[in-house]
Amino acid sequence: QKEVEQDPGPLSVPEGAIVSLNCTYSNSAFQYFMWYRQYSRKGPELLMYTYSSGNKEDGRFTAQVDKSSKYISLFIRDSQPSDSATYLCAMRPPYNFNKFYFGSGTKLNVKP
Amino acid sequence: DAGVIQSPRHEVTEMGQEVTLRCKPISGHNSLFWYRQTMMRGLELLIYFNNNVPIDDSGMPEDRFSAKMPNASFSTLKIQPSEPRDSAVYFCASSIRDRKDNEQFFGPGTRLTVL
């Protein structure tokens, strides 16, 4: 079993829809959670970074962590065609600042 | 800031040939990572360096793969001999070591095709 599981999609939604992207994980030591966005033929770039449980909001994006369920989510409100990309979750334990565990990524397509 | 620089961007080679991928991290960053991305396996960490020293190479698939970081501004990933199953996109990333909120900055990747 992989340490981080993510549905690969693809997920296709109309412009303006609310998008929910999710990851589950097995290692209860993970405390730092990230979402990266990767456009086609580009490297991943950090979108959001959260620590432990709770919500974090940044514009149209909200990251949610539920440590009791080992489940994290990224919500995108009012989705735009420019949000079309692959979204990768990543996480790490507190004792290793450098080793990130990535999900396989969910491909999102927002149709105009 | 130019970001993480990788070369070449594309590499097509024949099975059995040696392949060398290059990376220049962001100036001032002291951690460097090599990843491989495929549809089947997603993004896999191959090896990472702190202050030019290899720390964890447990992700290197086999002895055909080797990585070096001779100085703070340059790293190479070498595959010798290459095989078709090595075809993937290889990313280099850098970060500032040991920060709680550290972010890994990725380069544009090298798309490797082994025929």
Residue B68 pLDDT greater than 80, yes or no: yes
pLDDT of residue B33: 96
| Residues of chain A with C-beta less than 8 angstroms from the C-beta of B113 | none
Contacts with A110 (C-beta within 8 Å, 6 or more apart), sequence order: A13, A14, A15, A17, A19, A79, A80, A81, A82, A83, A84
Band of pLDDT at residue B1, cut at 50, 70 and 90: low
The per-residue pLDDT for B100 is 66
Work out the average pLDDT over B2-27. Answer: 96
- Please give the pLDDT value at position A111: 97
Taking alpha carbons only, the member of B49, B75, B74, B78 closest to residue B61 is B78
Q: What is the pLDDT of residue A98?
A: 83
Question: How far B27 CA sits from the closest chain A CA (Å)?
Answer: 18
Structure tokens at A97: 């600042």
Contact A88 B31 (CB under 8 A): no
In the predicted model, what is the mean pLDDT of chain B? 93
- Residues B48-75: what's their mean pLDDT? 94
Cα–Cα dist B89/B109, whole Å? 6
**Is a pLDDT exceeding 80 seen at residue A11?**
yes
Distance separating alpha carbons of residues A85 and A4, to the nearest angstrom: 19
pLDDT digits (tens, 9 = 90+) for A28-55: 999 999 999 999 999 999 999 998 888 8
Partner-chain residue, chosen from B42, B105, B107, that has the shortest CB–CB distance to A102: B42
Residue B97 has pLDDT above 80, yes or no: no
H helix runs in B1-115, sequence order: none
CB B32 within 8 A of CB B91: no
Per the CB < 8 Å rule, is A103 touching B42?
yes
A52-99 pLDDT, tens digit per residue, is 888 899 999 999 999 999 999 999 999 999 999 999 999 998 888 888
Beta-ladder partners of A20: A75
